Structure 1
């Protein structure tokens, strides 16, 4: 058979045309895919801005399926799942990101931080703790330590909380000395509950050294000293409290009365109370003064007349009710009903109120049970605020 050069000459143009058509077809497909991903992305963004989260999630899922290598879409999708409370789906999205070998170091740290937030929101504190520890040495280290501190406070793991607080203080993330003193006091309270009074006293002494200006360590140390029969030492501790933290002295007023009675130092304690009451009038200091006047046996002591003088300074319903309680009225048969009504009206005014969240309680808290803030309760009653 004779070789025909004509077919070769005709084949070159045909092959060129077929190659050109194939390249155009592939280019169209690529362009279509590239247009489809941004379109789904912008559609999801539009739904998100209109607060249509369900439709936004569907659009982002479509975009992720079209372009699975886009990390930003994964982050957006995971954040949406978390906001909706679908924590399992958020975790799966962020775990998928962490499993990618081509993920940059910054995106890997970001995904680790996101998965820690997922666990925190879901209440899975043990898994959140592990995820947060993995953020040591990253750009999210400071935020992770704050979250760990909140976890340990919530679980009342005071030793771990103290360890994190020391790291944060060493890294110049703030002054945590007062917080460390609180942790030592909490540990001391736990030891007191177990009957370990001497170790508890040592913890409180360490707390005083850690935060000399903090009122709680001295107040609780004086309570423990008085409980152990060391009332003279307790009085000295309370005098130090008055010098270092005078604003907190109303919290120690009732304890000062007990210590004065136990040591016989009624005159010295009364002088201390009078001095601080003159500087800052307080219902608790006033009541302590009235009580000590009765205990002194001095007929010339002001006694309940202090209540009248306080009313000249402050329009206090609480003080008025206390004064009326000891008075004899012209129509005494109505005294009980009037007194009961006044006490009922004054009772809410004797509470303490958190300055951070407004949570009110009959007792003073160092750690607000409402918003978990430390030192947010002033040492003054609601009526005095």
Structure 2
């Protein structure tokens, strides 16, 4: 049977027409989807600018459904979920991004960082730690190390915190020697006396200007019954860290009285007071003054240099009043008024406390409490 070529001649134009119609339909559908996706995106952006986060999330979900390959929309949606506290949904978005084979290296690193933040905000510290460690050698390494340091401080994992602080120090992220000295002091608090002393001496070498290592080493020596060694430690530390003398004044006074070194202690405290008057240094001088009248006179000297309600109340407590029968009530009112003035205040968050903290209980900042009381700030 002969093949009829007329069918080929008729078929070619028909196939061409059908192909053209199919391409036009595809292009039309693509244009419709491309118009809808930007509209949903800009609508979501508008909601976001107006702080309508629920509507923004709905709009971005619609945009992602229209164009599932757009990574920027996924990042925006994941960040919105995290800000809303919907950490599980944020994790799903960022894990979906990481599962994509077409993601570029930079976007994969960005998604890994976003996933670590999701875990961190959700309080899943072990998973956050694993995610942050994967960012080593990426542009997010510095941020990851800072986040890891916060995790180790929060979990009181001081050896890992010290290791991470060393990496940050080496990478030029700042000077972490003072913070590393605190980590050694924290480890010393739970160590045996010999090991604790070695840790505290390392801390003093690492941060000579820090007050804490010397104070805690002296306290360790006092507990071991060696008041003279404690006194010598505090004297050496006062020379290395003169700004910390207000914090050293009370333990220095106690150690001096226990070791019979009152004269040397008075000399150090007098020199510090002349350079920078301080209530704590003043109290140390008063406690070491053998003559009670001379001791009380120091409060008047302080008032001549600094207006101080605390010093005035201290002086008045030993003074005879014309109406002595009311002295107790007047003194009680003054003591009540001066209590807030003798607190310490965090310079970072304003949290006030009766005692001095090395790490603020409010904002967790280190060394944010000045050595001076509220009245002196």
TM-score range, shorter chain: over 0.9
2:100 paired residue number: 100
Answering whether residue 316 of structure 2 is matched by residue 312 of structure 1, we say no
In structure 1, distance between residues paired with 2:358 and 2:284: 22
Moved more, 119-128 or 167-176: 167-176
Answering whether residue 138 of structure 2 is matched by residue 155 of structure 1, we say no
Decide whether the 8 Å contact of 2:161 with 2:183 is kept in 1. Answer: yes
In structure 1, distance between residues paired with 2:117 and 2:135: 12
Answering whether residue 259 of structure 2 is matched by residue 263 of structure 1, we say yes
In structure 2, distance between residues paired with 1:346 and 1:316: 10
In structure 1, distance between residues paired with 2:330 and 2:195: 50
Change (3 A) 1:330 1:28: same
In structure 1, distance between residues paired with 2:11 and 2:368: 89
In structure 2, distance between residues paired with 1:78 and 1:310: 60
Q: For structure 2, list consecutive stretches of 5 or more residues without a partner in the other structure.
A: none
2:282 paired residue number: 286
1:27 paired residue number: 27
Change (3 A) 1:259 1:9: closer
Change (3 A) 1:31 1:242: same
| Partner secondary structure for residue 330 of structure 1 | coil
In structure 1, distance between residues paired with 2:209 and 2:300: 34
1:361 paired residue number: 353
Q: How does 1:284-363 map to 2 (within 5 A)?
A: 284-293=280-289, 296=290, 298=291, 302-363=294-355
Change (3 A) 1:9 1:124: closer
Residue 122 of structure 1 deviates from its aligned partner by 1.0
In structure 1, distance between residues paired with 2:189 and 2:74: 47
Q: How does 1:72-83 map to 2 (within 5 A)?
A: 72-83=72-83
Decide whether the 8 Å contact of 2:344 with 2:356 is kept in 1. Answer: yes
1:207 to 180, 196, 203: 203
In structure 2, distance between residues paired with 1:270 and 1:3: 123
1:218 paired residue number: 214
Decide whether the 8 Å contact of 2:345 with 2:353 is kept in 1. Answer: yes
In structure 1, distance between residues paired with 2:5 and 2:183: 96
In structure 2, distance between residues paired with 1:328 and 1:2: 138
Residue 6 of structure 1 deviates from its aligned partner by 6.4
1:119 paired residue number: 119
Residue 12 of structure 1 deviates from its aligned partner by 4.5
In structure 2, distance between residues paired with 1:138 and 1:323: 62
Residue 71 of structure 1 deviates from its aligned partner by 0.8
2:270 to 267, 274, 298: 274
Change (3 A) 1:303 1:4: closer
Root mean square deviation of aligned Cα = 1.7
TM-score (norm 1): 0.94
1:378 to 337, 358, 370: 370
Residue 339 of structure 1 deviates from its aligned partner by 0.5
TM-score (norm 2): 0.96
In structure 2, distance between residues paired with 1:375 and 1:43: 47
Q: Deviations over 1:75-108 (max 9, x none)?
A: 0100010111110000000000011111111111
In structure 2, distance between residues paired with 1:346 and 1:68: 65
Q: For structure 1, list consecutive stretches of 5 or more residues without a partner in the other structure.
A: none
In structure 2, distance between residues paired with 1:101 and 1:375: 47
Residue 4 of structure 1 deviates from its aligned partner by 7.4
1:252 to 248, 259, 265: 248
